[in-house]
Amino acid sequence: MSSPYIVAVGGTLRLGSTTEKAMRHVLDAAERSGARTKLLCGPALELPMYQPENPDRSAAARDLVAQLALADGIILGSPGYHGSISGLIKNALDYAEDLRTDVRPYFSGRAVGCIATAGGWPGAVNTLGALRDIVHALRGWPTPLGAAINSAEQVFDHAGVCLVPRVAQQLDLIAGEVMGFARSG
C-alpha cells in the first residue's frame, strides 16, 4: 500500500476546537508520511440520532460511514464531557454499526489513534479510556499510545500550531503508529 487513507472523526460543533486542532496535527503528520487524509468534525458530525431500526440515513451519515469503510487507519478525538466522551462523538460512532456487514466489519483490521481533551487531567484520562473501550468494541486496534490533553492549558495557538512540545511529540507518535499499522496491513 503506497498511500494509506487515514480518516479522523471527532471534535465539537465549534470549529477550531482543541480536539479538532489535535486531530489536524495528527493528520498533518500522517500526510508528511505519505497518507491521504480526511477530517470529519464540526458540522460534518451534526447527525440525526442513530436509530438502528431506521435504514434512512442523512447525506452526512452516509458520508461518515463511507469514509470509515474506506479508511486504512482512523483517528478519533473527543472532548471530555462529564468524565467521558461527548454525545456528539458517541452518536457519530454509533453509525459504525452500519459497517457490521462490510467486508471489514466495524473497525476490523485497522489501527485507531485516540485523542481526548478536557479542562483537566481526570476528564482527559477518563475520556481517553472510554474511546479505547469503544475502539475495542468496534473490533479496532487502539494504538499503544493515546493522547490525553489538558485543555485548561494553552496547547495550540489560533492557527493550530501546537505550543507544547510533549503534546506535539505524542500526536506525531500516534500518526506514526497508525501509519505503520496501515502500511503493514
**CA nearest to 180, candidates 102, 99, 113:** 113
pLDDT at 2: 75
Q: Cell triple for residue 8?
A: 479522523
pLDDT at 7: 98
pLDDT at 119: 96
Q: Cell triple for residue 73?
A: 487507519
Contact in structure between 113 and 177 (CB atoms under 8 Å) = yes
Domains of the chain: 5-184 (3.40.50.360)
More confident residue, 41 or 185: 41
For the chain, helix, strand, coil in percent to 5 are 45, 20, 35
In angstroms, the CA 118 to CA 153 distance is: 10
Q: What is the pLDDT of residues 49-97, one digit of tens each?
A: 999 999 999 999 999 999 999 999 999 999 999 999 999 999 999 999 9
In angstroms, the CA 127 to CA 30 distance is: 23
Q: Is residue 127 classed as helix, strand or coil in its secondary structure? A: helix
Q: What is the maximum span of the chain, computed from C-alpha positions, in angstroms?
A: 46
Q: What is the pLDDT of residues 157-178, one digit of tens each?
A: 999 999 999 999 999 999 999 9
Q: What is the pLDDT of residues 1-57, one digit of tens each?
A: 579 999 999 999 999 999 999 999 999 999 999 999 999 999 999 999 999 999 999
Please state, for a pLDDT cut of 90, what percent of the chain lies above it.
98
Rg (CA), the chain: 15
In angstroms, the CA 146 to CA 10 distance is: 14
pLDDT at 133: 98
Q: What is the pLDDT of residues 104-145, one digit of tens each?
A: 999 999 999 999 999 999 999 999 999 999 999 999 999 999
Residues in Cβ contact with 96 at an 8 Å cutoff, skipping those fewer than 6 apart: 65, 68, 106, 107, 138
**CA nearest to 92, candidates 113, 63, 71, 118:** 63
**CA nearest to 123, candidates 153, 63, 80, 85:** 80
Count of C-beta atoms within a 10 Å radius of residue 16:
16
In angstroms, the CA 183 to CA 43 distance is: 31
